[in-house]
Structure 1
């Protein structure tokens, strides 16, 4: 039976009151999780008839998508470790107590930000215990006890010259997927094999840089909370606090260049997190550039390129037949109109229908073929693990008690991706928000690299190239008019992709790389990284 959105929201709110025998929860905790649903239901009644009609139309067209609103995402079971198990505990309130004298002789805080609620717990990880590299490692949690949020991180020092090499923060996407997937499947010092053992990665990004892998937002990977983060802006506040406390705890890394890199929904995260950092003039974060790989940043432009990529216009054979391609062509004008409505209003009531319609119309036909949405060249080998068996192996590895003990994990179980978080972000309208609008302000201050594996479908290179060329900034015309030039490995004449750059903006494709380029093309991805960090395209 198909229900209208009014009925669905009422069901979602009432479903938030779980039977007592299912899970014992305090009234305060339950209120924190059910309140957003009740607010959504109440505000629906005050909307215009046009908006109500749109929601009801979408719920009738795609009932399976709206059924997800009936699910209540629950906090992850966990047990906090005693302070005696940590090597360092740093409190944000102690940082906020430090005042300095400025050039005008006035007293001001040494570092900006609302840091009082935060603290950071850290432990040294013995590399020999887990046989993951031989470099210095730290893991731990950024805690916000005021909001009961606890973000897990794992830091690996550079294999080369940690006193001088840059520091990178790596973020996987989702939203709701652990950055430990990036650690153990893509660019970290070890890969996890089918025997659930760690294999040395000679192409790790810590070859010439120290790397922080962060599980965010809360309730992703080893992170946890009794509350939920369901939008990118809120997550950015936590990331700024983490970096501030990390560089205070480890000042030996604070003077080096710092870069943020990530992929997929990182196309949302990274521009917003970067803007949050740059907004604090008195900071201890030496941010020098950002790198977004196969990201979702400007949906209005990018969704137009799902049909070309699926239908043989992206450099690889077509996945869809002519009829399906024509259906996608027919659906795009409505999709574009809905996204434009989201861009104009930035309202959840406009942005959620846009996400649901466009994802069903522009991604759904491809998904139904069974082809891997992250690599147009392959079938989806394991639908339960995002098409990759390795993700299942990583989950098995990170759920081992000795691994969890070694890094200080406090959750009962590790999940590679939390589908509840993904749904929460979508139903808060975050998916289609126009976060590309903050990129021009970033370009005024630091370089930006947009890179894409040319075999990815879900955030394909055609769409990434198109939004980069459409972006309005002072160098727009010069950048957009530039042709792509061949990109070869620095140590040989082998072509690995194409690149173009103007001012602080660079776009790059890497050939035969899917959504996760370091997984598919590890040598090329490390070569790209080293050259980017050296300033080859922006110095």
Structure 2
């Protein structure tokens, strides 16, 4: 037992839903005794199993004018676990110590966490050849999951679905959005797509990597030598992408991260105001810590480099108490296939998804971009760069608009800026890094209420 909240987490569970589906197989869900949580596996392809976890909000309001929303959260990596990092690390009902979270997004919507792609978190494949290799394959699996969860559940169908993603999850989100729209139009998927939100999302990798060295040079974090070496690698990445050498571009991306780390004295890619790793106890332990950091950065799996100490807490929690609660198969380790997931998708890792954002905007889907001010890996400067490449007809008007400041409660310190035009919205979140809901929970809470048009204020 971790603390007094642990007992509340472990309500009696039972097999509560068995949903037959025309695509074959069963959707088997376990739920808590009070039915506020449901979870289970969907076999999205033979021997490929995707884990999902749905929290029903206790604040749910039934209103015909403003139906209660559902947020589908997609983590990054690829290989980062939404059921672990997003849930316990950012906006779920409990934090990683199993204490209640004040600014849980459950106060604004139901939450649906999915470990995607298969092989991530509790999701698994029975043969590594079944791992996805592209964003499109990942989106197809997610569409299958949505079909099996929503088509036989009228309660879910009444709630608009908002796909909210972080980091690499943003590439999946926009690809899923297009896949879902096609399935809805074809009558294969019964749901209403409310919108898509891209948090510090890896939409155009080359636009982000091009900002790293100039930004750090302006901040006095690297010198001219570091800038020169980084610029050389960025140009190499651009050439490799132009030549169709996408796996080579991913490898050079890793080389660029190493140069940035070494010439900046190990800046934190998730918050450029910090150093990576914990405070040094001695030179020996500090060097060992840095070596570990370099190894984890080379894979870019969020579950492996979330924050010093947190990853260990999450791994212990997810492979211990939570695994027991959820009755996960004994031979499935949380995050056990994460590195395989990243390696399998390395050929698509550097591919941009700007065209998909354009397609969603032109289809009338509400698209929101939000960016943490001190994030490096998906910098605000990079996000602004790819947004300016959109061909959406409303872009010029949007770019010429003034921003509106945001505050929280009675605190009159500026927390963020925002502006919107038609169905495109942008939030600049101050003093936040890569993990906006964790770094600035109050303004992120208000933002998600705006995005989902939640009836609860």
TM-score (normalizing by structure 1) = 0.71
Q: 1:462 aligns with which of 381, 388, 398?
A: 381
- 5+ residue gaps in structure 2? 1-12, 279-292, 297-303
Q: Over residues 364-413 of structure 1, what are the superposed CA-to-partner deviations in whole Å (9 max), with x where a residue is unaligned?
A: 2223332221111222226364033112101101111x532321312532
Taking the aligned partners of 2:399 and 2:410, their CA distance within structure 1 comes to 29
Greater mean alpha carbon deviation, residues 377-386 or residues 440-449: 377-386
How much is the aligned-residue C-alpha RMSD, in angstroms? 2.3
CA 447–341 in structure 1, closer or farther in 2 if over 3 Å, else same: farther
Q: 2:429 aligns with which of 510, 516, 523?
A: 510
Q: 2:91 aligns with which of 169, 187, 194?
A: 187
Structure 1 residue 450, shift from structure 2 partner: 0.8
Taking the aligned partners of 2:77 and 2:222, their CA distance within structure 1 comes to 25
1:161 aligns with 2:81: no
Structure 1 residue 416, shift from structure 2 partner: 7.5
Q: In the comparison of the two structures, how many residue pairs are matched?
A: 404
Greater mean alpha carbon deviation, residues 168-177 or residues 292-301: 292-301
Q: Over residues 118-163 of structure 1, what are the superposed CA-to-partner deviations in whole Å (9 max), with x where a residue is unaligned?
A: 5321011247xxxxxxx8111101114x521111111111231254
The SS at the match of 1:305 is helix
The SS at the match of 2:99 is strand
CA 524–390 in structure 1, closer or farther in 2 if over 3 Å, else same: same
Taking the aligned partners of 1:341 and 1:490, their CA distance within structure 2 comes to 52
1:414 aligns with 2:334: yes
CA 499–424 in structure 1, closer or farther in 2 if over 3 Å, else same: same
Structure 1 residue 417, shift from structure 2 partner: 7.3
Taking the aligned partners of 1:512 and 1:452, their CA distance within structure 2 comes to 10
CA 470–211 in structure 1, closer or farther in 2 if over 3 Å, else same: same
1:223–1:411 CA contact under 8 A, matched in 2: no
Q: Over residues 421-458 of structure 1, what are the superposed CA-to-partner deviations in whole Å (9 max), with x where a residue is unaligned?
A: 111110xx111223221111101221101111111111
Task: Choose between structure 1 and 2 for higher RCO, CA contacts under 8 A separated by at least 6 residues.
Answer: 2
Which residue does the alignment assign to 1:199? 99
Q: 1:254 aligns with which of 157, 162, 167?
A: 157
Taking the aligned partners of 1:268 and 1:491, their CA distance within structure 2 comes to 36
Which residue does the alignment assign to 1:488? 407
CA 371–272 in structure 1, closer or farther in 2 if over 3 Å, else same: same
Q: Over residues 263-309 of structure 1, what are the superposed CA-to-partner deviations in whole Å (9 max), with x where a residue is unaligned?
A: 00012101100000011212311111000101111123232211233
Which residue does the alignment assign to 2:275? 379
Which residue does the alignment assign to 2:311? 391
| Residue pairs, 1:229-378, within 5 angstroms | 229-280=132-183, 281=185, 282=187, 283-312=189-218, 317-342=219-244, 350-361=245-256, 363-368=257-262, 369-378=265-274
CA 264–416 in structure 1, closer or farther in 2 if over 3 Å, else same: farther
Structure 1 residue 535, shift from structure 2 partner: 8.5
2:119–2:337 CA contact under 8 A, matched in 1: no
TM-score (normalizing by structure 2) = 0.83
- 5+ residue gaps in structure 1? 1-83, 94-115, 128-134, 343-349
Taking the aligned partners of 1:155 and 1:497, their CA distance within structure 2 comes to 30
Q: Over residues 320-356 of structure 1, what are the superposed CA-to-partner deviations in whole Å (9 max), with x where a residue is unaligned?
A: 22321232234433332333344xxxxxxx2112222
Which residue does the alignment assign to 1:477? 396
Structure 1 residue 502, shift from structure 2 partner: 1.8
Which residue does the alignment assign to 2:284? none
2:56–2:111 CA contact under 8 A, matched in 1: yes
1:88 aligns with 2:17: yes
Larger radius of gyration: 1
| Residue pairs, 1:114-133, within 5 angstroms | 116-117=23-24, 119-126=26-33
1:222–1:411 CA contact under 8 A, matched in 2: no
Which residue does the alignment assign to 2:348? 430
Taking the aligned partners of 1:505 and 1:245, their CA distance within structure 2 comes to 30
Which residue does the alignment assign to 1:149? 48
Structure 1 residue 252, shift from structure 2 partner: 1.4
Which residue does the alignment assign to 2:365? 446
